[in-house]
Chain A
Amino acid sequence: MQPEEYLPPIGGGRSGGNYVDITATKNGAILRVNTIDTLSDGVTPTSREAAAAALIRSKIGPSAPFLLIPKNR
C-alpha cells in the first residue's frame, strides 16, 4: 500500500499529471481502476472523465488493464 500512483505529463513535467485511484499488482500484472463522475443516467462518463481516461490509457500503454467505475451517487 502506497500513495496514489502518479502518472506525469509528457517529459515528466510539473503540471498535467494524472493520479490513479487504485493500482493493484499481482504476479507482475498491474490493474488500474479509476472512479469517475457520470451524467445523470449513472452510466455515461462525463466528457472530462472520458478525456482523462484516454490520457491515462495513452500513458500506460495499450495492453495494461484499465477499468473505470462510477462514483457512488
Chain B
Amino acid sequence: MSKQTHIFATRSDLQGGLRNFEAKMDVKYVRCDLYHGPVYEQYLSLLDWADLGQNITGDHISGSQFLVIPRDLKINVEPVPQVVGSELDSGDLGVSPAWKIDSAGSFPKHAAPLHQYLTELERGSGPTGREPAGDVRYAVSQRLNSDSLSFLPGGIYNQEKVLVCGHIGTISDSEISRTLYKSFVSHVTKGFEKIGSYRVGPEAVRLMSEGYRMVTISISSPAAYDLCRSIAR
C-alpha cells in the first residue's frame, strides 16, 4: 500500500525541516533518473543541491526526484536495455485495445492496438525520443531500493509567480521505508499549514496570498485546479 503527502514549499520552507531530519537520521539522497552509466548523482545533504525549491518543468510529476535512503545502504541500479519500437508488437500488452482520449475528453468510436498509439507518440517526440537499440540505460528508482522513500520537492517555476507542488511518498512496505517516511514527513512539514489535501510551507502560504499560482498538476492545466484556499478549506 503506497503512502503519499503532497506539499507546496520554497527552499526556505524546506531548509529547517531537512536540517533537523538530517541531524536525526543518517541518510543520503540519490537522484532518480535513467542514467547513461551506472554512476548516479548523490548528496549527503539536500541543502547542498543548488536547485532545491525550484521547478524547471512546470509539472508536478516530472520535476527532479530523489530517493531518500539510509546512508549505509547500497544503491541498486537497474540496467534497462533499450529496444526498438517494433518489439512492442510482440507482447500481449502491445496488442491490447486502447483508446486515445482526444483534447475534448471524447472517445474515438473504435479502439486501436496499444502499440499503434505508442509508436505514434514516439514518432512525435522528435529525434531524441528514442535511444539507439542495443544501448543500456541505468535506472535508479524505488523498485530495487525498497528501504527508501521518494521525494519530489517541487518549487518555484522558472522564477515566475508560479509554485508547483511536490510529493513525499513510498510504494514500499518495508519497515525501514515506513519509518523513514514518517520521520521525513514529520520533520519536513513541521509548521506547514494544511490546505485541502496539501501541506503548505509558511513562505508558500505568503506567496499564495500574494497571488502566485499554486499548481497542483501542470502549468498547462486549467487554473481552476490550482490550490485555492476558499475552495479547498
Contact = CB atoms under 8 A, between A and B. Distances in A.
Contacts of B99: 45, 53, 67-69
What bracket does the count of chain A residues touching chain B fall in?
Answer: 35 or more
B6 A6 contact: yes
Interface stretch (B36-44, B46-54, B154-162, B221-229): B221-229
B212 interface: no
Given A12-B197, A14-B196, A59 B225 contact: yes
Chief secondary structure at chain A's binding surface:
mixed
What bracket does the count of chain B residues touching chain A fall in?
Answer: 35 or more
Chief secondary structure at chain B's binding surface:
loop
Nearest to A55: B105
A64 B218 contact: yes
A1 B143 contact: yes
A59 B226 CA distance: 10
A50 B104 CA distance: 12
Interface string B93-132: 1001111111111110011001001000100011011000
Contact of A17 (B97, B150, B197): B197
Contacts of B231: 10-13
Given A3-B2, A3-B3, A68-B99, A12 B225 contact: yes
Contacts of B176: none
Given A3-B4, A60-B221, 16 more contacts: A2-B150, A2-B152, A9-B225, A11-B224, A11-B226, A12-B214, A12-B227, A13-B196, A25-B62, A27-B128, A30-B62, A50-B107, A57-B105, A60-B220, A63-B103, A67-B101
Interface of A: 1-14, 17, 23, 25-31, 33, 42-43, 45, 50, 53-70
Interface of B: 2-4, 6, 32, 57, 59, 61-62, 65, 93, 96-107, 110-111, 114, 117, 121, 125-126, 128-129, 141-143, 150, 152, 167, 169-171, 195-198, 214, 216-218, 220-222, 224-228, 230-233
